[in-house]
Structures are given as C-alpha cells and as structure tokens.
Structure 1
Amino acid sequence: MNERSLWIRLGAPMLVGAALLAAWEAWVRCAELPKYILPTPSEVVATIFAQWPALAPAWLVTLKTMLVALAAAVVFGVALAALFASSRLVETSLFPYAVMLQVTPLVAVAPFIVIWIGWERVWLTQLVCAWIVAFFPILSNTTMGLRSADPGLRDLFTLYDASRWQRLRLLLAPSALPYFLAGLKVSANLALVGAVVAEFVTGTQVDNPGLASTIFTSQLNSDTPLMFAALALISLTGIITFFAMEWLSHLLLARWHESAVGER
C-alpha cells in the first residue's frame, strides 16, 4: 500500500467523522437541547475523562469477554472446520446444528444459558453468549477455505504421497488462510456485540459490570452523557478491532495472495 493510498484510506473516514461530529455539536447547541436528551460530542468526551476511573474497569470487562470469546471461537471453529473438511459425513451431520445455533436470536437463548450456568457464574454466561455469535463465521469460512484448495495441487500432493500433516500445512492451511481471516474480521466484532448483548441480559447483578451494564445503570439514573460515553467506548473498541483485523490480514496475505498484493 503506497503512502497516498494509506492517507486516503485513513484520512477520508476521519474527515467524514469529524464533519458529522461538528454537525452534531452545532445542531445540539443551536437547538439548545438539554444534555439529558442529547449531549454534545464535547460533553461526551469530557464525561469519558471525568468518569474514566469508573469506565476503565467496565471497558476492560467487556474487552476481556470479547477477546476470550473470540479466542474460543477461533479454536473451536478451526478444529471443527478441519473435521468437516476431512469427512463429508461429519459435516452433513453436524453443520445444520451449527447453522441453528447461529440463526437463533441471542436474546432468546441468553436467558436459558443464564439458568443452565447459574447466576454465580455470570461472566461464563456472558462468555458463552459472545462465543455463540462469533463461532459460526470462522467455522463456515474456514471450512470453505479448506475445501477450496486447487484440485491440481491436491493431485500433486497425492502423487508425491504427502502425509496428512504435509497436506494440511503446505496445501490446505494456505488455501484456507484468506477465508479464515475474512471470517475473523466478522467474528471479532460479533464477539463484541455478543458480549454487550449478554451484559444487557444479565443486567447489573454482577460483581464486575461491563460497559453495557454502565449504559443500563446510566439509563435508570437519567445520566445521558455517561450513556453516550460508554457507547462511544464500545464503538471505538469495534473500530479499533476492525482495523486490527485488517492489519493482520494485510500482514499475512500481502506478499502472496491476490486479494492483498495490490495494496502493498
């Protein structure tokens, strides 16, 4: 990626965001809206700094849930994808249940998970909820990638009597890597969404509340600036996560895969 392309890719969204924030600030001030209805961006930023001792621990709780759920989704998703790729019978037998797990609304499943796991292990409940929504994109994309290896190369590996490990390491894994990374980009932010939704479901009855619990409590106290401050931290976490996944994808693919070679 050349310097001009980098500046365009980073600068254009920042300019649009700055324009939107300026318009928001001007409209609220011109309309003289009270901050309990809609605070200005400057008031939200001021609240983040003023309430940081309370917001920081909540942000770390949400971030921890997201990262652990994403790691679990990667481990289980890749392992199950490898199993699916090795056996059509296993894939046919189990894949519909993976789809069912994905399409069932999380808000409908979460109360049952709370009951089954118990209130004494609320964080584990939140973790399972976040894992559920992050798991399927990695599973489906990696399975597709493992099955997308070039047939000619497959025959070549068979001709040279390659072992299963050699076939997996030298052929299937490189073929599946772009698909896996595409699924990872989706799953990373879905894990954040799942963590936030799970916190809303479990409410504030937890020892270490996250950002969603902060939003819920702020709503009850009519503290709209704090609500927006927590929401801003969630949004920033999602944006940073997305660009981190983009950077990881570029780092791993830029030297050899056609989807990223042109970006060097």
Structure 2
Amino acid sequence: MNARVERFTDSLWPMLVALVLLIAGWSAAKYLYAVEDYFVPYPWTVVTAAVRIAPELAAATWLTARAAVCGFVLSTLAGSVIAIVFAQFRLLRLGCFPYAVILQTVPIVAIAPLITYTRGPGFESVVLIAFIVSLFPIIANTTAGLTSVPRGLQELFRLNHATRWQQIWKLQIPYAVPNLITGMRTSAGLAVIGAIVGEFFAGNSSRGHGLGFMVPQKMDRLRADEAFAAVAMATLLGIAMFAAVSLLRSTLLRRWTQ
C-alpha cells in the first residue's frame, strides 16, 4: 500500500506543478496584454463563475458524461466484434479495414451536421457522433492483438484439436486484451471529444443541454467566465474517463505485468 501511495504521489506533484505554472502563465499573459474579461477571464474568475452556475454546470456535465459513456461503451462492444470478424477472415479484413480508417480521417465537424440533419438534434444524435469518433481505435488495436498471436500457440491449440471457437475464446481474445485496453484508453478521450462536438450541432433538446452546447451559448452572451468553466468541466470529464480506463487496465492486466 505504501508503495502505491508513493507512486501516486510521485506522479501527482509534477501535474500540480504544471497546473500552477499554467495558471501563472495564463494570469501573466492576460495582465501583460490587457485582454478583456469578456474574451479571456482570470482563472479565479472562472472558479467563481463555476460556483455561481454550479447547478447548470452539473446538469450539463451529467448529460455530456452520459452521451460520452454511451458512445464509448457502444464503440467498445461494436469495435471488439468487428475486430474478431476481421481477425477470422483475412479477405474481409483487407477489403473493409480501409473503410474503417475513414472513420478516423473524415473530420467529425463534417459528419456531425449530416447526422443532425438526418436524425435531428438530441441525445441520440450526440451518442451516435461520440460512437463514430471513438470506434476506430478499438477496431485497430483489437484487430492487431487478435492477429498477432504467436504461431507456436496456434499450432499447440490445433494439435489439441481445439475448435475455431475455442481458439478465439481461449487464445486470441485473452491475448488481445492488452491491445483492447490500449484502444479503450484512446477511445475514452475521443468519446468525450465526440460528445462535445456533437453537442455543438445536436445538443439542444427538451432534455436540456450539455457542455458542448453551453460553451458557444455563453460566449455569444459575452459570459466568457462561464464558458471557460464549462471547458474546464469538459477537461475534467475527459481526465476522469481516461483515469477510469487506466484503473481498469491496471486491474485486468495485473497478471500480465507481474
């Protein structure tokens, strides 16, 4: 336990130092260049604004978090299934994998308006956008893990007359778990980005609005401090999702690292 606390402390203080330097640089730049408050506020002004609009900020964060988590879970499930299919059929992988790459190369700002136009604004459209953005890392990393099983292990399973399903379930999938977790760590952050971008275009609905809709709304009303508070919450949400997947990684992969 003491060793874990030491490792946590050793990794925490550099982040705190970087945060202090960031806030100091932010404040100094605003003072030196005389930037107006309606454009860039002081850090303590952002904190005050966050406290002032805490109920609205909490509701928006909860809605964005739900959309990001739903998109992330869907991308993990769908990406894993697609990767398993790709790993079993080489010709299908060669034919379809380039189209999966398109999900990563096409800008989400080009896809989001199309989804909003066809499905309308609302939570479901935001989830769909988050799903599309976070899907490719799962497919790419899991496919790489499934197809990199050593030939010796494959031959061992064949010598013991293992069925195709047994090879998938007891050999390929366990071997690909580290790759899957790596893809999930990337997708967790992308899901938050997808949810935020999706809410820019499709975040206004009767259920309320998320952080992505809140930021431009506050800037249009010249409430930069509240907009920056929403950006800060979006950042914390991304960090929280990344940390959750990292915790899952350390738990599941403990036997790989020992």
How big is the shift at 1:26? 5.1
Q: Is the 8 A contact 2:39 2:222 kept in 1?
A: no
Distance of 1:98 and 1:188 partners within structure 2: 18
Map Cα deviations across residues 12-71 of structure 1 (whole Å, 9 max, x no partner): 112211232234345545766542232221111111111011111111111111000001
> 2:238 aligns to what SS in structure 1?
helix
Q: Is the 8 A contact 1:204 1:217 kept in 2?
A: no
Map Cα deviations across residues 151-189 of structure 1 (whole Å, 9 max, x no partner): 111100110111334322321112101111111011011
Residue 88 of structure 1 aligns with which residue?
90
Map Cα deviations across residues 65-123 of structure 1 (whole Å, 9 max, x no partner): 1000001101110001000111112212221221123211111122221222234xx22
Distance of 1:19 and 1:101 partners within structure 2: 37
* Range with bigger deviation, 165-174 or 207-216: 165-174
Give the AA of the match of 2:100: A
Of 11, 14, 19, the match for 1:12: 14
Q: Is the 8 A contact 2:203 2:210 kept in 1?
A: no
Distance of 1:80 and 1:204 partners within structure 2: 32
Residue 54 of structure 1 aligns with which residue?
56
Aligned length: 256
Map Cα deviations across residues 192-231 of structure 1 (whole Å, 9 max, x no partner): 1011111112364654211011111101100010010000
Distance of 1:244 and 1:187 partners within structure 2: 12
> 2:63 aligns to what SS in structure 1?
helix
Q: Is the 8 A contact 1:203 1:216 kept in 2?
A: no
| 2:202 pairs with 1:197 | no
Of 96, 99, 114, the match for 1:97: 99
Q: TM-score, normalised by structure 2?
A: 0.92
Distance of 1:123 and 1:116 partners within structure 2: 14
Give % identity. 34
Residue 123 of structure 2 aligns with which residue?
123
Of 70, 73, 88, the match for 1:71: 73
Map Cα deviations across residues 124-155 of structure 1 (whole Å, 9 max, x no partner): 21111111110000001001100111211110
* Range with bigger deviation, 4-13 or 40-49: 4-13
Residue 110 of structure 2 aligns with which residue?
108
**Runs of at least 5 residues in structure 2 that lack an aligned partner in the other structure:** none
Residue 178 of structure 1 aligns with which residue?
178
Q: Is the 8 A contact 1:204 1:216 kept in 2?
A: no
Q: TM-score, normalised by structure 1?
A: 0.90
Distance of 2:158 and 2:209 partners within structure 1: 54
User: Cα RMSD over matched residues?
Assistant: 1.9
Distance of 1:51 and 1:170 partners within structure 2: 51
Distance of 2:203 and 2:74 partners within structure 1: 24
